Amino acid sequence: MKKLFNVLMVGLVLSFTVACNQSGADEAGDNTASTPTPPATEVTKTPPAADANAVDPNVPKTTMEFADMTHDFGTIDEGDKVEHIFKFKNSGDEPLIINSAKGSCGCTVPEWPKEPVAPGGEGEIKVVFNSKGKKNKQTKTVTINANTDPNPTRLTIKADVTPAEGEAADATKKDIKINAK
C-alpha cells in the first residue's frame, strides 16, 4: 500500500511540475509545450512472444476423430523409410484448424492439411519414419496442436528395426565381450 501511495505521489508531483512549466512557458510568450514524461516508476510490460504452435484460445473448439491413432510397421530393416496415413474426421461443429504437427524426433516427419477442415469434413496426416540409425523396437509420437478439445492430440507409430548386417555382427561381438567378462 505504501508503494502505491509513493507511486501516486511521484506521478502527482511530476504532473504538477510539467503543468507549471507549460504555463510558465506560455506566459513568457513561448508556445512550445513540453511533452509530459511518464514517472520513472512506471513499467511498460512487453507481451510474451507468441508460440508458433500455440492455438488461439479465442478460436471456437471442435473435435477430431481418427480411424486409428497407432500404427505398427512391424519388422523393417534399418535405413528403410516407411510411411503411414492417419485418416481423421472433423466431428465437431466448427472448422478444424491444425496449427502444427511435430514428430518426437527428427526421424518422424508429419505432413498435415494447412487449410481448415469443415465440420464433417475429412483429412489425412501422413507420417514418414526414417529408420536410419535406429535399431530394435522403436516407438515415436506425433503431437498435433489444433483448435480441438482436448488439445493436443498424439498419434503413435511403432516398428521393430532390424540392424544393418555389419552392425548386427558388431552387436554380437560386443555381446560376446560383455558376457566373457
Q: What is the pLDDT of residue 59?
A: 85
Q: What is the pLDDT of residue 56?
A: 74
Q: 64-165, what's its fold? A: Immunoglobulin-like (2.60.40)
- For 170, the grid coordinates are 558388431
- The angle subtended at Cα 130 by Cα 125 and Cα 136, nearest 5°, is 115
**Going residue by residue through the chain (181 aa), what tens digit of pLDDT does each one get?**
444 444 444 444 444 444 444 444 444 444 444 455 555 544 444 444 455 556 677 789 999 999 999 999 999 999 999 999 999 999 999 999 999 999 999 999 999 999 999 999 999 999 999 999 999 999 999 999 999 999 999 999 999 999 988 754 455 445 444 444 4
Return the closest-CA partner of residue 69 out of 144, 157, 10, 178. Answer: 157
Q: With contact defined as beta carbons under 8 Å apart, do 123 and 67 qualify?
A: no
For residue 6, report the phi and psi dihedrals to the nearest 5 degrees. Answer: -65, -40
pTM over cut 0.85: no
